A and B are shown apart, each in its own frame.
Chain A
Amino acid sequence: MSPVFRRRHGGSARRLFFATDLHASEACFRKFLAAARVYDVDLLVLGGDITGKALVPLVPDTTGAGLRGGLARDAPLLKDEDEVAAFERRIADAGNYTVRASRERAQELAADHDELHAELTAAARVRVAEWARLAEERLADCGTRCYVTGGNDDPQEVLEPLRRPADSPLVFCEGQVRDIGQDISILSLGYSNHTPWKTPRELTEEELLDRIRALAGQAPDPHRTIFNLHVPPIASGLDRCPALDTSSDPPKVVRVGGEVQYTDAGSSAVREALHEFRPFLSLHGHIHESRANARLNGTLALNPGSESQAGVLKGVIATLDVRRPTFQFTTG
């Protein structure tokens, strides 16, 4: 038996736990690592979009009474290091970053997008490096491997700390096909089709399909391969989200008569690839609000959704039964 599948359960099928779109939530990542033990699964798969989207400056209070958690006049006053640590933990759990800065520097970050991008990328890189270290520490004991990819929101430099030695239980598998034992492979790609948000890693549908095809060509047997593609297939029920008006900056949710309009934001390239290669299982994220499953031409497609901002880890346990995989959504 492969070391990946070191345990057997009541049933014959081996199981993976998949969560995605953690967006820097410290609480969710720690829960994710705990899932290996609590859910008693054989491997972990962490989908993309691990980068957060906001930064909270810790600036000196004008009276010298401590630090303020934000620029607002009534921002929380943190009187000592214990309070600062608790505050930083709360912010991290919600998927944001903190940075200690002078009020002038904080105002500069708020006004200059490039400066903010650089600061946030640096903070994200630090957190990813901490996560990589924590994952190796936690998973070393239980022997479970964790396969992790990026998403369209993750700048390449943020993902770099995920590259680990070959014997590490943390496997950065972005843009690769990896053998996970039992003649099953996992194909991972974190790029998405174009979004209204103009995120760091987007491709045209043609480019996306070309990349998936190139990777599928490396898989020994595409049918016995898990397609770990960040963006879900279009019009699959896994990709329903509010329609956005891109004429404004930032884009706004389209409402007609007060009613939110919904659209399919998935990828036609992914849909075509699933149809072409018929993997037994495909794992997706990207659309947080579209927690759903679908059987598409023999492929069990899953999107567990995400509520990482609330510290809630949404995930899915899937059995690696190539003939008929089953699944179970979780809220942890």
Chain B
Amino acid sequence: MAAVEAIQHRQASGLVREGKPTDGALFNVLGTTLGPVIGWILLYAIPFYPGSNVLLATTIAFACCIGLNLVYALFAATMPRSGGDYVFISRTFSPSIGFMANASFMFWLAFYIGTAGSYIGQLSLATVFRELGYWTGDHHLQTWGNWFNTHWGRMLSGLFLLAILIYPVLLTSRRGLRRYFRFQRWVFYFCGITLLATAVALAVMSHGAFVSAFNHYVRAYSPHTLHPYSLILATGGTHGAFDFHQSLLAATWPYYVSSFLLMSAYWAGEHRTGLRSHVIGMVIPFAISFVVIIVVLQLALSAFGTNFLAALGNTEATKYGFESIPYFVELLAAWTGPAVGIIIAIGFGAWLWQYVPALTILVTRSMLAWSFDGVMPEWLGRVDSRGNPVNATLVTTAIAIVLLALYSFTSFFSVITALLGFTITFFIACCAAIVFPYRRRDLFEGSAGAVRVAGIPLMSVAGVAGVIGLGVMVYVLLVDPNSGTSWAHNKGEAIAMLVAPVVALLLYGLSWWVRRSQGINLSVAMKELPVE
């Protein structure tokens, strides 16, 4: 039906939905830390999974998340409210399950808020300092870079990032997202340009040129190693013949990207409405990210050689005079020269810098919603006179610091440990999507998300695809010995993934009991009222 043009008696400013579709797209792409994850795939997925094909692993990870990605886009179009799965699941099943799923997810986001800074040592500063040492001839500089990979280095760099970014978060998180969107746009330009430069350099650089440049670069630190490239190949061994199961398990690493391209659903209330908006914000970035990863990985494999990358990860760095294994940006920098290499390394670090405010916005918004709904104390939802959610930000920061300390000083958490925790939430959301069009026909029919394929709601179809895909990823995460949640090697950590949702459910129960004594029934916060 054509749009209705009413004769306005008077205008009103009304609700200002500040999020453009492109803002959602950038938010999602930056939220995946696409650049650093490509580095992780090259650094870990090849050496840790003999015979794996990382292109196939990436394809599997993305295929498993097509349904998930569609589910969040369709839910956001159907219920354009901030809160993400808290809203979707609460309205489909019950507020207790919605809170459980959402609080668990937010807990793990807090983990990444805390640890974002600690990755900078590995992904950026180790390269920057070693390049500087190469450039200036002061080889002690690589020790500085490596300090960031020590326990205290991780802890302090994580704290540093929190300290300098929390205030901007306070300024942006409730006074409208426009300021943050501008910030992220500039970060994206920088990250995007450095990623593009990386791809161009990889495309131009021949394998022979890389070998020559790498040998020259390493000899600057280890003059007695005549042919470092050959040494590494001889020491680390070859990658081996193609192995499908290893390729499947290697999907753990690209899953970090493929499962994260839906974060804008959490501020859908500030996003322009309509399915098209969320398709541009989530579905198209999903497809583009897949293509970008595949292209950059293929270029990197051609330039560096799969066997070399496998051997590099399996060879102790001290054998060729380094204090830590060079990140793939550093391999590239050996050919581009230190100036370009340092800029690219800083660009890869920048992906993480926007991570802290972006994720803090998501977590604090959820906390405000919990407080408004009465699930959490009123104190948590309090804002200062400028509208900033100070208490929610403080609580988020405190949780992030505790998790940062656990990550820095213990081996309990790895970079990807939280993936299983996320997956629990996503799995529940996909289950909700299957039944939502039938359980909540009143909300579904007539909404922007009410799309049908052969008469069946696309949301249900996507939900089924999501459940199957996530089922595969749960298998991968429980079997992969490097996932940090392997049932054979890390049973404790795998079981611990259930702690967050269980604690959340207990918190909800406690809150329900306390609120009941105050005359508040938590179950009605999102109850749809009938139009009688």
Contacts and interface: CB of A to CB of B under 8 A. Distances in A.
Interface of A: 9-15, 27, 30-35, 38-40, 53-57, 69-72, 74-76, 91, 93, 96, 106, 109-110, 113, 116-117, 120, 138, 197, 199, 235-237, 240-242, 244, 250-251, 253, 257-260, 262, 288-289, 291-295, 307, 309, 311, 313, 317, 319, 321, 326-332
Contact of B9 (A120, A307, A326): A120
A323 to B, nearest CB: 12
B454 interface: no
B13 A70 contact: no
B8 interface: yes
Given A12-B519, A30-B532, A258 B1 contact: no
Contact of B4 (A70, A117, A289, A317): A70
B520 A319 contact: yes
Interface size class of B (residues with CB under 8 A): 35 or more
Contacts of B525: 328-331
Nearest to A55: B7
Given A11-B518, A332-B529, A55 B13 contact: no
A317 B14 contact: no
B16 interface: yes
Closest 6 CB pairs of A and B: A332-B529, A11-B519, A54-B6, A13-B519, A31-B529, A328-B374
Given A259-B179, A329-B373, A138 B519 contact: no
Contacts of B10: 53, 197, 199, 250
B176 A259 contact: yes
A327 B378 contact: yes
Given A70-B5, A258-B178, A326 B16 contact: no
A279 B387 CA distance: 23
Interface of A is mostly: mixed
B182 A258 contact: yes
Interface of B: 1-2, 4-16, 18, 81, 175-176, 178-179, 182, 372-374, 378, 381-385, 387, 515-522, 524-532
B182 A10 contact: no
A184 to B, nearest CB: 14
A216 to B, nearest CB: 25
A292 B8 CA distance: 29
B4 A75 contact: yes
Given A34-B529, A244-B13, A329-B373, 10 more contacts: A11-B516, A39-B527, A76-B1, A76-B2, A292-B383, A293-B378, A295-B382, A327-B378, A328-B374, A328-B522
A309 B4 contact: no
Contacts of A313: 529
B78 to A, nearest CB: 12
Given A34-B530, A235-B385, A307-B15, A76 B4 contact: yes
